[in-house]
Amino acid sequence: MMQKRISEILRRIIGDEVPLEVIVSEGEGKGDYATPLAFRLAKMRGMAPMIIAQELKEKIENDKEAQKLFERIEVASPGFINFTLSQESLSQTLRAILKEKKNYGKPKLKSKEKKKIQVEFISANPTGPLTLANGRGGFLGDVLANMFLWMGHKVEREYYVNDTGNQILTFGKSFLAARGIIPDEETFYKGDYIKEWAEKNKKIIEKYKKNPLVLGKYAAHDFLKKIKDVVQKKSGIRFNRYTSEDELYKKKFPEKVLAIFKKNKVAYEREGAVWLKTTDYHDDKDRVLIKSDGEKTYFLADAGHYLETAQRGFDLKINILGPDHYGYVVRIQAAAKLVGMPASEVIVTQAIRLIRDGEEFKMSKRKGKFVTFEELVEDVGVDVARFIFLSVAPDTHIDFDIGRAKERSMKNPVYYVQYAAVRAKNILTKVRAHKKKLSQVGKPDFSLLTSKEERMLILKLLSFSEVMEEVVKTRGVHLLTRYASELARTFHAFYEKAHVVGELNDIASARVALLQATLIIFQNLFDILGISLPDKM
RNA sequence: GUCCUCUUAGUGAAACGGAUAUCACUUCAGGCUUCGAACCUGACAUUGGAGGUUCAAAUCCUCCAGAGGACACCA
């Protein structure tokens, strides 16, 4: 918000000559905000940056709004212009937070700008427990959806369930093999969870032994229930729609999308199979929609799913996929375009490597060798699990040490952040007991908050809106957890120096207001991240 | 073999081409007579290597080295 205001001032002064840029300064003696604008102008005009910066500085100093906004404007070598906010600007920020509360930093979207967005995530086959990678995508999708919702968009959180087809047939056969009804095969699902389910459902297996697809569907349905339980109850990940692939088949979406492809002449026959011309969309080869044996591919079903989403009027679809789908992105984006999805994004999360006793621990769902997402959440708790996964960018490989996960979780930054919020909350509770005395002091005077720690804290609160803007723009949810840590750190430093209780005077009153503002921001952050704000720790 | 992603402090991670590279943990040196010490203050880096573009490179380009992944008429 502040960056925008500064940009507007600069725009007034230099016009549309060059693109603007206002950055948040880090480190001492650089002001609160800065602009490297002089470098751009220097190049265009063939002059020294320092001279231009000096000229600009003088012009800015003559601007009325700038006079209110800044306490100081300085030129720094080799040509930066640094802005230091005035006490009044900081006070304004506090007033804004206290007034707007959870809406602070929220852009005021016009109804035209409000979009209908679908976030599809996890969508793991219901043929086994969720993996850590599923969980990573799950938290990411959940928080991304929270973000868009907070921004004022309409959001649908969708889980696409592959509950039919080859995979499910194999799944059904795997149980028959586990019961010794048919011989085992390489491609079948293995692992204890298969044996356990087979043991528990002897009668069902016997009943459907002639029809492995139906058995597979039955089992998939059962596993999906378990997944829903882990996702919604244990991990706090919310969905509003579970879309069944089987249902889409019944509604003929694969056929519908195929008809569209054919009509647009992007599908063709070759060697008895039907192909989609994805090479027109940067793919390195065309992809099969219908195999020569007449069977529909998974890709066709997926394209049908995209068609269904497009027909329901979404402006944007964001699909979060696991690392094993890397090679799938180009063709699914091609399909999205071809079915008329206005905007489509795919986020691929990188792999999570498990390390146990210093050795890599290879995971395979089919072989039944893995650590489940559920185990992790139960081991370390939802808040910790969320924070671990959400604090790294999606395209970063994670090495996850199981042995040290618990030990680490005790020192997890999430506690650091929660502790800060708890501290703020506790003071406010104590202050409430003294309310009478405080009210005698009168309205809080923010101009008294001039110490280094107070200033830093207000600036941090101010940057909340900027962080949110950045997160929305880049989908970089990890910036939020990082910001939470920084806010906590700034708060702890303030806490150490600035006491409230026992100092019932003007400054205490102002600090109480600062605490309230801090708590508002923390609460808002926690809501979006899906992390709890405990009363005690 | 082709393509993609990654390589930043002892560890794990941040950083639209912007200044003195940020955060947490570990280690070391300090700090509780006042709101909770699950805290604070300070110390710890030639951003894998070599070139190049730029006023400015962790970031962009080329090459090299290392790690992971994707390359089916599978899903």
pTM, to two decimals: 0.92
pLDDT tens sequence across A244-303? 999 999 999 999 999 999 999 999 999 899 999 998 888 888 999 999 999 999 999 999
Chain A 21..50 CB hits on strand B (< 7 A): 21, 23, 25-31, 34, 36, 39-40, 43, 49
pLDDT, mean over chain A? 89
Task: Tell me the backbone φ, ψ of residue A382, rounded to 5 degrees.
Answer: -65, -45
The two beta strands, A80-85 and A287-290, are: unpaired
Q: What is the mean pLDDT of residues A449-457?
A: 90
Q: What is the mean pLDDT of residues A339-361?
A: 79
Comparing CA positions, the residue from A241, A96, A242 lying closest to residue A154 is A241
Q: What is the pLDDT of residue A459?
A: 92
- Strand B bases with any atom < 7 A from protein Cβ: 4-6, 12-16, 18-26, 31, 34-36, 38-41, 55-56, 67-75
Q: Alpha helix (H) ranges present in A49-122? A: 49-61, 64-69, 87-100
Measured in angstroms, what separates residue A507's CA from nucleotide B19's C1'? Answer: 35
Q: Which nucleotide is nearest to A76 (CA to C1')?
A: B19
Chain A 194..253 CB hits on strand B (< 7 A): none
pLDDT tens sequence across A513-535? 999 999 999 999 999 999 999 98
Chain A 264..283 CB hits on strand B (< 7 A): 270-273
Asked whether strand B has any atom less than 7 Å from the CB of A428, the reply is: no
Burial class for A63, CB neighbours closer than 10 Å (0-12, 13-18, 19+): middle
- What distance in Å separates the CA atoms of residue A476 and residue A140, rounded to the nearest whole number? 9
Q: What is the pLDDT of residue A325?
A: 84
Measured in angstroms, what separates residue A74's CA from nucleotide B58's C1'? Answer: 28
Asked whether strand B has any atom less than 7 Å from the CB of A451, the reply is: no
Identify the structural domains of chain A with CATH numbers, from first to last.
2-85 (3.30.1360.70), 121-245+350-410 (3.40.50.620), 413-529 (1.10.730.10)
Q: Calculate what percentage of chain A has a pLDDT beyond 90.
A: 62
Chain A 59..118 CB hits on strand B (< 7 A): 76, 78-80, 82
pLDDT band at A536; cut points 50, 70, 90: confident
CA quadruple A34, A40, A41, A47: dihedral, nearest 10:
110
Q: What is the DSSP string of A332-399?
A: HHHHHHHTT-S-EEEEEPPPEEEEETTEEE--BTTTTBS-BHHHHHHHH-HHHHHHHHHTS-TTS-EE
Q: Which nucleotide is nearest to A407 (CA to C1')?
A: B25
Task: Write down the residue that tokens 């402006």 correspond to.
Answer: A315
pLDDT tens sequence across A104-155? 989 888 999 999 999 999 999 999 888 888 899 999 999 999 999 999 999 9
Q: What is the mean pLDDT of residues A443-458?
A: 89
Asked whether strand B has any atom less than 7 Å from the CB of A141, the reply is: no
The two beta strands, A316-321 and A344-348, are: parallel
Residues 6+ apart with CB under 8 A from A484: A417, A522, A525, A529
A137-to-A11, A72, A121, A223, A332 alpha-carbon distances in Å: 40, 45, 6, 19, 18
Comparing CA positions, the residue from A371, A405, A367 lying closest to residue A387 is A405
- What distance in Å separates the CA atoms of residue A22 and residue A43, rounded to the nearest whole number? 18
Token reading at A136: 């990573």
Asked whether strand B has any atom less than 7 Å from the CB of A360, the reply is: yes
pLDDT band at A25; cut points 50, 70, 90: confident
Q: What is the pLDDT of residue A301?
A: 93
Measured in angstroms, what separates residue A35's CA from nucleotide B71's C1'? Answer: 45
pLDDT band at A47; cut points 50, 70, 90: confident
pLDDT tens sequence across A351-377? 777 766 656 665 555 555 567 888 888
Q: Alpha helix (H) ranges present in A158-211? A: 166-178, 192-200, 202-207
Asked whether strand B has any atom less than 7 Å from the CB of A476, the reply is: yes
Asked whether strand B has any atom less than 7 Å from the CB of A57, the reply is: no
- What distance in Å separates the CA atoms of residue A375 and residue A66, rounded to the nearest whole number? 55
Asked whether strand B has any atom less than 7 Å from the CB of A293, the reply is: yes
Q: What is the DSSP string of A426-464?
A: HHHHHHHHTHHHHHHH-S--GGG--SHHHHHHHHHHHTH
DSSP letter at A500 equals: -
Token reading at A300: 């066709």
Handedness of CA A311, A317, A320, A324 (dihedral sign): positive
Q: What is the pLDDT of residue A436?
A: 58
Q: What is the complex's ipTM, to 2 decimals?
A: 0.92
A490, pLDDT greater than 70: yes
Asked whether strand B has any atom less than 7 Å from the CB of A327, the reply is: yes
pLDDT tens sequence across A386-440? 998 898 888 887 777 666 666 667 778 899 999 999 999 999 988 887 665 555 5
**Residue with CA nearest B69 C1'?**
A323
